Amino acid sequence: MKNNMNILIIGDIIGKSGRNAIKKAIKSIKKDYKIDLIIANGENLAHGIGMTQKTYKEMLDENIDFFTTGNHILKKPDIFPEMEKKNTKIIRPANFPPGNPGIGYQVISKKGKKILIINLIGRIFFKHDYDCPFRKIDEILDKYKKTKLDGIIVDFHAEATSEKIAMKHYLDGRISILVGTHTHVPTADAEITKEGLAYITDIGMVGPTDSVIGVEKENIINSFLKQTNFKLEVASGRCIFNAVIIELTGRTTSKSIELIQTIID
């Protein structure tokens, strides 16, 4: 068994367009890069907002091992039974207020390694009053401080770049991977820090290029022009596939991070 682990982390998958792009791209990427573990953000799987049993199982069939989510995951109650299972493969932000369905972190076993995966959500620019993600991550890491782990991965689903970068400095030397999701736009700051943390502010999305972050562009443009609500309609056509490949080396260290960006016709 090799010591290191190649992990593919995929940005927000947007509706049917994104799911179709996954079907076209993921098998060759897994083979070409010798991927050991695939994680994706699935909060936009079902027509751009939320997740259903059907869309979840559709993506499981494409060899995605585990799903993080974000602010939209509670929009479709159909998925709640899967979120409540003991060995669930779907987590929601851990700093959602108490009483919400699901859990915010999970230890999984893959290729003989134990990986702790944690989901957090930011507070800046969101209308809901989420619990503090910084205090919540402290609580979770303290719970697992004596547990033997081969890696700790955090998906920070947040809007503000400053909040994500602050979290990078807060967790440097304490976890192995911190990726940002939510904006659907990839950032150009992938790095391995001095302490060995693999980091990127936002992975981006798997969704249609001829759109506004995955949504029909005319609807969004009209909402800006007229200051009215818009209909959330996932666009069609060719897609951008955004993901990162990270070589994980230990509980708090990674060796490399590479942004994967390709057009899927």
Tell me the pLDDT tens digit for each residue of 222-240.
999 999 887 889 999 999 9
- Identify the CA nearest to 153 among candidates 135, 139, 140: 140
CA–CA distance, 254 with 165 (Å, rounded to integer): 18
User: 163 in helix, strand or coil?
Assistant: helix
Q: Kindly tell me if the per-residue pLDDT of 31 is higher than 50.
A: yes
pLDDT of the residue at 228: 87
> What's the longest Cα–Cα distance across the chain?
59
Where is average pLDDT lowest: 25-34, 113-122, 201-210, 230-239? Answer: 230-239
User: What average pLDDT score do residues 84-104 get?
Assistant: 97
**153 SS3 class:** strand
* Average of per-residue pLDDT across 21-25: 97
Residue 65 has pLDDT above 80, yes or no: yes
| Domain residue limits at 153 | 5-264
Q: Residue 241 pLDDT more than 70?
A: yes
d(CA 97, CA 129) in angstroms, rounded, equals 8
Amino acid found at 86:
K
Cβ atoms of 32 and 262 closer than 8 Å: no
Q: What is the pLDDT of residue 1?
A: 40
Angle subtended at Cα 137 by Cα 135 and Cα 142, rounded to the nearest 5 degrees: 100
**Tens digits of per-residue pLDDT, 159-185?**
999 999 999 999 999 999 999 999 999
Q: What mean pLDDT, rounded, does the chain reach? A: 96
C-alpha–C-alpha distance, residues 235 and 213, integer Å:
9
pLDDT for 213: 96
Judged against a pLDDT cut of 70, whether residue 104 lies above it is answered with yes
Confidence of residue 2 (pLDDT cuts 50, 70, 90): low
Q: Rounded to an integer, what distance in angstroms lies between the CA atom of residue 93 and that of residue 96?
A: 6
Rounded average pLDDT over 95-104: 97
| Strand bridging mode 5-10 / 12-13 | unpaired
Position of tokens 């987590």?
A: 91
Angle at the Cα of 192 from the Cα atoms of 189 and 196, rounded to 5 degrees: 150
Q: What is the pLDDT of residue 231?
A: 80
CATH number at residue 75: 3.60.21.10
pLDDT tens digits along 133-161: 999 999 999 999 999 999 999 999 999 99
Kindly report the backbone phi and psi dihedral angles of residue 114, in degrees, each rounded to the nearest multiple of 5, phi listed first: -105, 120
Mean pLDDT within 63-89 = 97
Q: Which of 243, 187, 233 is nearest to 210 (CA)?
A: 233
CA distance 225 to 18: 28
Give the predicted TM-score (pTM) of the model.
0.97
Q: Percentage of the chain with pLDDT > 90?
A: 97
DSSP 69-102: --TTGGG-GGGHHHHTSTT-SB---TTSPTT-SS
Helix (H, G, I), strand (E, B) or coil at 3: coil
The Cα 201–Cα 191 span in angstroms is 10
Residue 236: name the closest of 204, 262, 264 by CA: 264
Point out the residues that are catalytic: 72
Average pLDDT on 63-76 reads 97
Return the closest-CA partner of residue 140 out of 165, 114, 107: 107
What are the pLDDT digits (tens) for 111-131? 999 999 999 999 999 999 999
User: What's the mean pLDDT in 73-95?
Assistant: 97
Number of domains the chain contains: 1
